[in-house]
Structure 1
Amino acid sequence: MLCLLAATVPWHRSVGFANGLHCPYNRLSSSTREPPPRRLLLERKLLYRFEKYVLDTDRRELRLGADLVALPPQAFDIIVYLIRHRERVVSKDDLIAAVWGGRIVSDAALTTRLNGLRKAIGDSGVAQRLIKTLPRKGMRFVGAVCEGEGLANPHAVGMQRLKASPAIQEQPSIVVLPFTNLSGDPHQDYFADGVVEDIITELSKFSDLFVIARNSSFTYKGRPADVREVGRDLGVRYVLEGSVRRAGSRVRITGLLVDAESGTHIWADRFDSLLEDVFALQVQMAQTVVGAVAPRLERAEIERARRKPTESPSAYDCFLRGMAGWHDWSRDGHDAALKQFYRSIELDPKFARPHALGAGCYLMRKSNGWVVDRAVEIAETDRLARLGANLGREDAVALAWSAHALAHVVGDIESGRALVDYSLQLNPNLAVAWQRSGWIRVYAGECELAIEHLQTAMRLCPLDPLMHLAQSAAAFAYFLVGDLQQSSLWAERALEMRPDWPAALRVSAMSNALTGREWAAHKAMTRLRTLQPGLRLSNLHEQMFLQRPEHMAKFVEAMRKAGLPE
């Protein structure tokens, strides 16, 4: 058992003998001390093993193989606490209460201990291979841990009866297993391994996703693995496996995403490419796989939340239930989503994402003409979006939606542009951030850049359920630069996904009217006015904010030609 006397008394009074280990036996006076009985020396003690490290909580030792790793006492207490509570996120207050006995401890002191601990176990604040930091929430030990009662001799690791027992956390978690090399040439293993390492790196940029580190996932290399067993061993919900085949100048990568609890397949696909620059291809393939996997994970998590009972929902479950309504893309669906986001905020006021997506609900209310009280909704959007951005400084999704809400509803394009740019720095693989950036650039009049960003979003995530948002934004950008053929094309693509999407209907009506396709323009305008009977030229600005006056004038005039009344 770990002794935390160091948290309440000076360290020199809590240690025993010359080895600096606390021992209850030392509480005896010198006149009554006797050598401990032999049975105590042979007693089994609790050990933890991760990667090549063994943590002996009774001897207060951390070993790398046969070598003793030097750790300051408080750093040792921190790693034991993190490992013992690895099924959840540990807050700063939790650590201070456990390690420092609740005494006031500066952030610098805690950071110093954590940096020392990370250095000792070969981790870093950038890699976060073993200790993952969740901004404004805390940290969690994410490495695979085996625990068991082994002999006190730390060199007898092979004699321990170890069992893997990490709990599956609430948030989605995934391991990427080594891909099988089907090329028939063992010398090509490096390419398959490189693709997997890049996929792990790219997935790690999603702040809400727990990704098992490469060192743990690659312990399965070269041996058959049952995905359910892998899920139990590593405490993950999803397993991504695949294969790589190189033949001449071509390469094919196959990916398979599996639910580790049920063993069911969630997604499978293959990707073909010419082999030119090997390392560039690795990155390209990794981004392609991640772009396909990410939305599948989100859908699987939403379905999982739907199946859970609602008697005692957590903040995260409420958020996922809100996302189910969000993806319904109806007024009732978004109203239900907003209620769930508020419930999530009530349960966890520091959870950034429901703040940001709550602001996103008001954004969609404006875009679709569902606004009830404009002044109240603008103020509430401003409040939620700024809280979402402040609470989610390291959450690219929260930043992206907060950015768009501030730009479109509040009219603060500069803040929106700055936030979405930072979101893209945090996670350049996040399709929704490129989408939001595209819309914000449309509002700002930077239409060429908007088209570039929207094309990136569609390339990163070709199966994105939000694709109609990117397509309608591209349609509007092409309309503003005067390319009516592309404008009409992208509007029709958006309408194929969402026939009742007002943004796409507006562009379709305008582009067709300006190119003389009166029947198509009339059809789009009729459908738009059925959805929004109160829409007029005089209140058009209430649904679309364009910073450049000439763009707003072009928009109004085209809608007039398409048949929208004054």
Structure 2
Amino acid sequence: MPVLKIDESTRSARLDGAEISLGARAFDVLNHLHHNSNRVISKEELLDKVWAGTLVEESNLTVQIAGLRKVLGKGAIKTVPGIGYKFTLAAMPDDSSAETQKDAPAVPSIPSLAVLPFANLTGADENAYMVDGIVNEITSALAGVSSFFVISNTSTFTYRGKAVDLAEVGRDLGVRYVLEGSIQKAGNRLRIFTQLVEAKTSRMIWHDRFDGSSEDIFDLQDTVAESVAAAIEPKLIWAEAARAQAKPTDNLKAYDLCMKAAPLVYRQNALENLEDGLTLLRKALVLDPNYTYAKALICYAHTGAFAARWWPFEQAQAALPLAHEVLDSNSDDPLALCYVGHYIAYMGHDTNTGLTALKRAHSLNPNSANIEMLLGWVYNYIDQSDLAIEHLRRAIRISPLHPQVGIMTSGIGNALFQKGDIAEATKYYEQALTEYPEFATIQLGLMGCYWRLGDFEKSAQMAGWFRQKVPDMSVSLFRRTRPQNSEAYRDAVIGALRSNGFPED
């Protein structure tokens, strides 16, 4: 049994006789937990004790707890969902025992998570219903993402008031990730903290804070639920990709290949990355010829290859048969539907079919920033600029740190361009250029905007970049390949192309 000794006079700690290195905050957290090992300590109590008189985010406490678990062992400090932590060093279980592992459910092949009861730090038990309501909303929103496996609240709420560590929760429920959080209240103001953790390692993947009013609790519940779902979707894609990358190459399956390929396809910052992603995806299809998500990612890669003008239009159209295979399969995968729907609208110029697929994807998962982004762009193609702006702004609101935020920003610029607000469109395009310089649609739009504003020098600069990227660019090539049917956009870009010396054919 491990023996921990704490010397408050020297602010030092020894585990089994060996001194352990601790920062000042970590020592204070450990000292308070150790002195109160006979009871559960709320997060609020620890925050008040360790950061007395200082307003700090709960993530500061989480970082200290994670650090202590690394030093003392994962089972030394257990999470008590909806309350706080309990110091259990003296009763650490043997996680490797066969009895512990025997009845554990298998972890699904798709990203899996459980939403634990949130800690009620409002100081009033009567607010418990509100805390539970927010957890219910978040769980429902995440359950709407068909690419996730989400444990129901009937299972997760059984952990309320029990001392557990996250590795145990993951093992007992058969999930890879755990979402936990807390709610604080001052007057009618609410502050909600959420964090996504890999259960087995206790590694924090994502965290965020939301502020609102208890008077608007239902609106706040919706906002938190949609934001958490939107933020977690790309985070889990990248987390799963990292997990797959760590596996031996001789044991890869179709899912792991897709997860490795996803960030290469999404990043779209170099042709080499995109082609590497496509190689992985094609291997996945060899393993499983009916793998819908692999087909959809191939379509998304072809979209990016033309959007960055690495491939000519005809080469980028080569995946259209795959896109229609996905639609013909009657898939209920919202991400697959949105990728192929946009691809069909963008590269196939079939906006009716593409919009139908994207609307279905949106109904299946209304909290996906990817779906909002691509739906907004298809509304741009059919010159419904107000709807395009609405969806693109929502995409940014629910996922402001999205790796493809430049596509969202430039989409708003495109819509404003079509509406005739050239000065404002230019601002959005210029911002997008800093966010995603490889996206050739930005330079094309800026060339037209600057020309409309009479800034012919800047228009020529964009033309020079575009001519270097697409040496055979011509007015007829633009007419043939553009997805937008807006006359205002078309006429401005054609005017800029002619003014900057691009040939007709």
Fold shared per TM-score above 0.5? yes
Give the counterpart letter for 1:365 in structure 2.
A
Matched letter for residue 242 of structure 2: E
Question: Please, which of 173, 185, 188 is the counterpart of residue 246 of structure 1?
Answer: 185
Task: Note the C-alpha offset of 1:541.
Answer: 3.1
Match of 2:483 among 519, 522, 545: 545
Instruction: Indicate the residue corresponding to 2:392 in structure 1.
Output: 454
Identity %: 32
Letter in 1 for 2:361: S
More moved, 364-373 vs 277-286: 364-373
C-alpha change, 1:230 and 1:186, in structure 2 (3 Å) is same
Matched-pair contact (CA < 8 Å) for 1:338–1:361: yes
Match of 2:453 among 507, 515, 525: 515
Is 2:179–2:194's contact at 8 Å kept on the other side of the alignment? yes
Name the counterpart of 1:230: 169
Inter-partner Cα distance in structure 2 for 1:327 and 1:416: 20
CA distance in 2, matches of 1:543, 1:300: 36
1:437 alignment counterpart: 375
Distance in 1 between the 2:319 and 2:100 partners?
A: 56
Residues 517 and 553 (structure 1 numbering): CA distance in 2 closer, same or farther, change over 3 Å? closer
SS in structure 2 opposite 1:269? strand
Distance in 1 separating the partners of 2:287 and 2:330? 17
Shift of 1:203: 0.5
Taking the TM superposition and a 5 Å limit, the aligned residue runs for 1:134-173 are 164-173=103-112
Correspondence for 1:366 among 289, 306, 328: 306
CA distance in 2, matches of 1:321, 1:175: 24
SS at match of 2:210: strand
Counterpart for residue 475 of structure 1:
413
TM-superposition CA deviations, 1:265-321 (whole Å, max 9, x none): 111221112333222221111112222222211111111122222213211111112
Partner of 1:266: 205
Alpha carbons of structure 1 residues 391 and 337: separation in structure 2 relative to 1, 3 Å? farther
Name the structure 2 match of 1:347. 287
* Distance in structure 1 (CA, Å) of the matches to 2:460 and 2:102: 68
Deviates more, 1:533-542 or 1:192-201: 533-542
- Corresponding position of 1:323: 262
Q: Shift in Å at residue 214 of structure 1?
A: 0.5
The one-letter code of the counterpart of 1:244 is I
CA distance in 2, matches of 1:377, 1:496: 25
Kindly state the Cα deviation for residue 372 of structure 1 after the two structures are TM-superposed: 5.1
Q: Give me the whole-angstrom Cα distance separating, in 2, the residues matched to 1:221 and 1:410.
A: 52
If you compute each CA radius of gyration, which structure gives the higher value, 1 or 2? Answer: 1
- C-alpha distance in 1 between matches for 2:501 and 2:225: 47
The answer on whether the counterparts of 1:368 and 1:543 sit within 8 Å (CA) in structure 2 is no
Q: What is the CA deviation profile of residues 83-137 of structure 1, one whole-angstrom value per residue up to 9, with x for unaligned ones? A: xxxxxxxxxxxxxxxxxxxxxxxxxxxxxxxxxxxxxxxxxxxxxxxxxxxxxxx
Between Structure 1 and Structure 2, the one with more helix by share is: 2
> What do residues 188-210 of structure 1 show as CA deviations (whole Å, max 9, x unaligned)?
01111111111110001111111
CA distance in 2 between counterparts of 1:565 and 1:246 reads 64
User: What SS does the aligned partner of 1:311 have?
Assistant: helix
The TM-score, its normalising length taken from structure 1, stands at: 0.68
Following TM superposition, by how much is the alpha carbon of 1:542 offset from its aligned partner in structure 2, in angstroms?
4.6
1:232–1:552 distance in 2 versus 1, CA, 3 Å: same
Which residue in the other structure is 1:185 paired with?
A: 124
State how 1:518-529 maps to structure 2 within 5 Å: 518-529=456-467
**Contact 2:447-2:460 within 8 A present in 1 as well:** yes
Deviation at 1:527, TM superposition (A): 2.6
Partners of 2:375 and 2:159 lie apart in 1 by 40
Comparing 542-551 with 397-406, which one deviates more in the overlay?
542-551
Q: Confirm or deny: 8 A CA contact 1:354 1:388 kept in the other structure.
A: no
CA distance in 1, matches of 2:316, 2:459: 32
Q: SS where residue 245 of structure 1 aligns? A: strand
User: Residue 304 of structure 1 aligns with which residue?
Assistant: 243
Amino acid corresponding to residue 260 of structure 1 in structure 2: A
Structure 1 residue ranges without an equivalent (≥5): 1-159
Shift, 1:161, TM fit:
10
Q: CA deviation at 1:543?
A: 4.1
- Superposed CA RMSD: 2.2
C-alpha contact (below 8 Å) 1:183/1:246 kept by paired residues: yes
Task: Please state how far the C-alpha of 1:537 moved relative to its aligned partner.
Answer: 2.3
2-side partners of 1:373 and 1:248: how far apart?
58
Distance 2:459 2:402 in 1: 28
Contact 1:175 1:240 in 2 (8 A): yes
1:445–1:551 Cα contact (<8 Å) kept: no
TM-score, normalised via structure 2 length: 0.76
Could you report, residue by residue, the CA deviation over 1:224-256 in whole angstroms, capped at 9, with x for unpaired residues? 331111111111111111101122121100111
Q: What stretches of structure 2 of length at least 5 have no aligned partner? A: 1-98
- Aligned residue in 1 for 2:471: 533
SS at match of 2:250: coil
In structure 2, distance between residues paired with 1:161 and 1:464? 39
SS of equivalent residue, structure 1 residue 277? helix
Residues 534 and 474 (structure 1), Cα distance of their counterparts in 2 relative to 1, 3 Å cut: same
Q: Cα gap change, 1:273/1:485 in structure 2, threshold over 3 Å: closer, same or farther?
A: farther
Contact 2:306 2:312 (8 Å CA) reproduced: no
